Amino acid sequence: MFKRILIANRGEIACRIIKTARQMGIETVAVYSEADRDALHVEMADDAVAIGPPPAAQSYLVIDNIVAACKSSGAEAVHPGYGFLSERAAFASALAETGIVFIGPNAKAIAAMGDKIESKKAAARAKVSTVPGHLGVIDDDNQAIAIAEEIGYPVMIKASAGGGGKGMRIAFSKAEVAENFARARSEAKSSFGDDRVFIEKFITDPRHIEIQVLGDKHGHVIYLGERECSIQRRNQKVIEEAPSPLLDEKTRKLMGEQAVALAQAVGYDSAGTVEFVAGQDKSFYFLEMNTRLQVEHPVTELVTGIDLVEQMIRVAAGEPLKFKQSDIKLTGWAVESRIYAEDPYRNFAPSIGRLVRYRPPAEGVRDGITVRNDTGVTEGGEISLYYDPMIAKLVTHAKTRLDAIKAQTEALDAFTIEGIRHNIPFLAAIMQRPRWRAGKLSTAFIAEEFRGGFERTAPAGEVARAIASVAAAIDHLLGERKRKISGQLNTTLTRERRRAIWLGPDEYHADVEHDGKAIAVTFEDGARHVLSSDWIPGVPVWAGKIDSAPVAMHVRAIPNGFELAYHGFEVKAFVYTEREARYARLMPVKKLSDSEKAVRCPMPGLVVSLGVSEGQEVKAGETLAVVEAMKMENILRAERDGTIKRIRVKPGDSVAVDAVIVEFA
């Protein structure tokens, strides 16, 4: 077994690999760019080596820098994690030439399967059903348009060396092919150092299901069940689960055996994933093979009890697999949510900055429920614009799917992140959707369930009552504390029991009083709820019970009330006495002016290009600029017709959120 390994990656996956290596008694070496000098994975590793400037193309993607780090640190093997160099055959070969072991598949298997075009050809030779498409390299947008019109719209333009939604675009028309072809090539080049793309038919209403395979260097290959990854946005996975609510044992066996046959055909000898696009009728087509560890591997680990990172290390060291296909049993259900640094209320624009507070829910096993949080950040750390915006992966495991979803909901409600925007409200809202809970999924789920985007809405029903109850209980507790301050006149502090709680446009009126150690909230219609909690002021999460149900709710104090987050709702709850409420209703509401004639950048990033010039007339929908943030290129379009008066940026500029890009006359 290796004594020291290097992790050629960063963030949560580097931390996750270090944890397993530490359990195996293996020393670890981290690599880091200048932007990651104080990152968690650097702190966790036994040793760390600097490898270059912040851009990945100048650090994490430079093979010579990684090889040099191995030599200087004495690492015997390298785990690439996912992304970056994990699917580059040239990287595995470069390591082999210097006598360093690559903890992953052999270079030939990577070349055959890691390249999306070559993997399609290999699958076709193995008589695996594939999605119709053009498997050759496409030279320009004219050729791309000709191919797309031959296949028929819609089509998917995909980076050959891609993954993680980068370099992947759907086109529904000739114009969209021309524009998305350029964007896909540019993203592929910046993310993977390879701008080749191909085109295939985009199957409508599909499900994304993948099979985890595991092989050793002695010819053994098994499959470890499937993962459903249909909840996607912009072709990037958001929520995953294992097993899939679609599959039955027969279909699972067919897909698994096909995945194993494909892996055996290319001599696969590590952990890998064979991805399929599946119809609602359980038909399936080979999509691609990822010759690496997947982001969503924790759900497979929880339902199988197998540590995939450990198995990759053991296989790389030459050990045979210790289990057969008949040993693999799927137990319970696991759900994973990807927590991103992005603002779901602003079309998921990337958000960067300091994590003023970062308090994930407690990990571990309790009452048959497992909570796991894979992360690469700590409180006080910085979220950089140079890398993927994922903060953490929150995973729950339980006996049934609904129990796992319930546990996931509670864990999301108990997760505190402050200082940047994040997508926890969006994830929590998905957990409440009846269609999600019923398992009626497709890759269009988010687009169909949130047609107008994700917007702030006022809570209703039981959720609104729960939020109002917690707001009233906190206000009551704080009022009691204030009354205990010595040296004050009692007449200045009200002892009224009645409270008016404002939740957006709705008002709730309730009497609040102590019920033993708990607090009772009685609404005007007679409904009475008893709240018990150990919460004290300053703690960011109110955790306790409303009646007998466990509840966790994020709390932040604001003037005259609290901002509360619960079940996907972020609500400003104002709490008044009845007298205060009468005066508050008379206060004018300040409205923001909409008269500014400017287009502002919705996210911090780098200006890639400008599509207009000063004095030019533009129509609504025309491209104004392209801004790159966290490895994704975002097109800023004109929202109305007009004339460009002034351009405030130039290509290469770094821009902040809300920075003015162009001004209209």
CATH number of 427's domain: 3.30.470.20
Is residue 360 a part of any domain in this protein?
yes
CATH number of the domain enclosing 502: 3.30.700.30
Q: Do 371 and 343 sit in the same domain of this protein?
A: yes
Q: What average pLDDT does this structure show over 28-42? A: 97
Q: What average pLDDT does this structure show over 606-618? A: 91
Among the residue ranges 124-128, 414-418, 463-467, the one predicted with the least confidence is: 124-128
Give the model's pLDDT for residue 325: 97
Give the model's pLDDT for residue 274: 95
Is residue 363 a part of any domain in this protein?
yes
Please count the structural domains in the chain.
5
Last residue of a domain, one of 201, 216, 241: 201
Q: Do 573 and 473 sit in the same domain of this protein?
A: yes
Q: Which is more confident, 504 or 470?
A: 470
CATH number of the domain enclosing 628: 2.40.50.100
**pLDDT at residue 290 tops 70:** yes
In this prediction, what percent of the chain has a pLDDT beyond 90?
72
Give the model's pLDDT for residue 333: 98
**pLDDT at residue 493 tops 90:** no
Q: Is 288 a catalytic residue?
A: yes
Last residue of a domain, one of 412, 432, 452: 432
Q: Do 377 and 422 sit in the same domain of this protein?
A: yes
CATH number of the domain enclosing 188: 3.30.1490.20
434-481 confidence digits (pLDDT tens) = 999 999 999 999 999 999 899 989 999 999 999 999 999 999 999 888
Q: Do 466 and 578 sit in the same domain of this protein?
A: yes
| Amino acid type, 660 | V
374-394 confidence digits (pLDDT tens) = 999 999 998 988 888 899 999
Give the model's pLDDT for residue 598: 86
Cis peptide before 154 (omega within 30 of 0): yes
**pLDDT at residue 590 tops 80:** no
Is residue 297 a part of any domain in this protein?
no
Q: Do 548 and 465 sit in the same domain of this protein?
A: yes
Q: Do 609 and 533 sit in the same domain of this protein?
A: no
Q: Closest Cα partner for 328 from 207, 243, 219, 241?
A: 243
Distance, CA of 205 to CA of 227 (rounded, Å) = 18
In which residue are the tokens 């509840």 written? 551
Is residue 275 a part of any domain in this protein?
no
Give the model's pLDDT for residue 593: 53
Last residue of a domain, one of 145, 172, 201: 201
Q: Do 349 and 400 sit in the same domain of this protein?
A: yes
Q: Do 513 and 417 sit in the same domain of this protein?
A: no
CATH number of the domain enclosing 73: 3.40.50.20
Is-contact 657 603, C-beta < 8 A? yes
Is residue 167 a part of any domain in this protein?
yes
Q: Do 490 and 409 sit in the same domain of this protein?
A: no
Q: What domain range is 381 assigned to?
A: 338-432
Q: Do 469 and 562 sit in the same domain of this protein?
A: yes
**pLDDT at residue 231 tops 70:** yes
Give the model's pLDDT for residue 386: 87
Q: What is the mean pLDDT of the chain?
A: 92
**pLDDT at residue 485 tops 80:** no
Q: Do 474 and 562 sit in the same domain of this protein?
A: yes
Is residue 591 a part of any domain in this protein?
no
Query: Catalytic residue among 288, 342, 570, 628, which?
Result: 288
Is-contact 11 57, C-beta < 8 A? no
Is residue 343 a part of any domain in this protein?
yes
Is residue 276 a part of any domain in this protein?
no
Q: Is 41 left (phi over 0), alpha (psi -120 to 50) or beta?
A: alpha
Q: What are phi and psi of 274, to 5 degrees?
A: -100, 120
- Strand-strand pairing, 236-242 and 561-566: unpaired
Q: Do 579 and 641 sit in the same domain of this protein?
A: no
